[in-house]
A and B are shown apart, each in its own frame.
Chain A
Amino acid sequence: MINFFEVSKIYPNGTAALYRINLTVGKGEFLFLVGPSGSGKSTVLRLITGEEKPTEGKVLVSDLNVGRLRRREIPYLRRKIGVVFQDFRLLPNLTVAENIAFALEVSEVKPKETRRRVRQVLELVGLSHKAAIYPDELSGGERQRVSIARAIVNNPLVLLADEPTGNLDPETSWEIVKLLETINQRGTTVIMATHNETIVNTLQKRVVAMAEGRTVRDERRGTY
């Protein structure tokens, strides 16, 4: 599903963000990426979406060699990947439903199909009753649900979550992680970069710990 072979990433200014990373994530896995800020978690995620190219080594996402993709092939890779951020990144001038439909527009899904899929994911994230509301009127947890709905409406192979609970209180954070788990159980691979110790320790999923651009630990049913 996702494979990193001896991947190094050195930014043009000389900062080494990753050093000879090897990582394999199988289909349907749930993985926590942990480690202090600047340890390289976000760089790993950006290499998967093709925002960055590896300086050395090879990144494969469902058999696509991301580093070798041509610029105009990247959008098609992105459609197989859902991404969720700490700051939600919703458009304030669009309703909840429109924000989710926004992701289907780019792949030219028919309006009828769009409505069907938006209804489906809204149900999944439990916000069917708020479809016509603007993000301003939602709580942080609800906004993150919308952003998750937008990330999965394309039925991606993998869902990347970069500190999805970073802006949320503990209780809401749990709801979000439960939601990610549900999505994972439906077959989507989930990679979540987080600082949240409690969540990692309680859930007992695979944990990859990073420090200074290296993977220092990779455990099944691990802890922070």
Chain B
Amino acid sequence: MKLRTTVKLAGEGMTNLRARSGLGITAVTIITLAFIIVGFFLQIYLNLDNLSQSLAQRLQLRVFVAEGASLLQLETGLRRLPGVSGLDIITKEEALQSLKKQLGERAQLLELVGQNPLPNTFVLQVERAELIPGVAAAATGLDGVEEVVYGRESLGKLLNLVDAISWLSLAGGIVIFSATLFIVVNTIRLTVIARKQEIAIRRLVGATNSFIRAPFLFEGLYMGLTAACIASLLGDLVYRLVMQEAPQVLPFLPLLPRNAVSPLVTVALFLMGILLGLSGSSISVRRYLR
């Protein structure tokens, strides 16, 4: 389709929307509200995810090496595990030194033990929190590993929470998407019905399906984009306010900075708006295409 035609059909989409502006405004308002909810959930989700990751980084996954095992071989094995992003070694000597430092004056107690009882230890960094249990299990199976420890309990709870929130957001997202899709489909269907005659004549004189569909696609697109635009602006505004107030109210809660949240939320909302507008209008006009 030529640019000139596309511009013209885009204009028709705007005319369609204006022709029933009351209905259009109502529909866009409802969709905007839905988008605001989605954006809010996204902000929460992003922060929770960040929280769980930063906590995970503090969780150490320690691999105790069995007496007499080859450190080099084990190190290669551990580095190869999927999800492992870094690795430190604490030799038994270093461990003993730091233990001595901790014990301070009571370090003489260690003399009683005689030889160094501490094992060589690998400390692993894992890319994401949810990978830790898997890495731990895999590491346990390697030759020369005596034991693998990490904060199993606390990590489990945290992961469960993040999991629950993710599923809840997904389910909520699907419900909200379907509801807004329903609104778009019905709003545009009214335009399609109002323009049935034009559609019939266009088909008669040889309009392609994409030509007939285009004005309605644009109409849906305008609705989705308007809602996305307002919702992301409002979402950003609210997040800014929260960031201002949060340090006083919740000083220990590590919130993501605004520029790590708002762009992502905006992109997500715009993608959702585009998808919503295009799919909604396609559904409305489908019956009139052959």
Contacting pair A78 B197 (CB below 8 A): no
- Report the separation of the CA atoms of residues A107 and B202 in the bound assembly, to the nearest whole angstrom: 10
Name A's B-contacting residues (CB within 8 A): 49, 71-72, 74-79, 83, 89, 91, 102-103, 105-108, 111, 150, 154
Considering the complex, give the chain A residue whose CB is closest to the CB of B209.
A72
Interface size on B, residues (CB 8 A): 19
Give 21 CB contacts A-B under 8 Å.
A72-B209, A74-B290, A75-B203, A75-B206, A75-B208, A78-B203, A79-B205, A79-B206, A89-B200, A89-B201, A89-B204, A91-B197, A91-B198, A91-B201, A102-B202, A103-B205, A105-B5, A106-B202, A106-B211, A108-B2, A108-B4
Interface of B is mostly: helix
Interface string of B175-219 (1 = CB under 8 A from A): 000000000000000000000011011111111110100000000
Nearest CB of chain A from residue B276's CB, rounded to whole Å: 26
Nearest CB of chain A from residue B184's CB, rounded to whole Å: 25
Contacting pair A102 B201 (CB below 8 A): yes
Considering the complex, give the chain A residue whose CB is closest to the CB of B5.
A108
7 nearest A-B pairs in the assembled complex, by CB-CB distance: A78-B206, A79-B206, A106-B207, A103-B205, A75-B206, A75-B208, A108-B2
Interface residues of B in 8-36 (CB under 8 A from A): 8
Considering the complex, give the chain A residue whose CB is closest to the CB of B289.
A71
Considering the complex, give the chain B residue whose CB is closest to the CB of A80.
B206
Asked whether any CB of chain A lies closer than 8 Å to the CB of B1, the reply is yes
Nearest CB of chain A from residue B204's CB, rounded to whole Å: 6
Chain A residues within 8 Å of B290, by CB: 71, 74
Contacting pair A106 B200 (CB below 8 A): no
Asked, given contacts A71-B290, A89-B201, A91-B197, whether A76 binds B5 with beta carbons under 8 Å apart, the answer is no
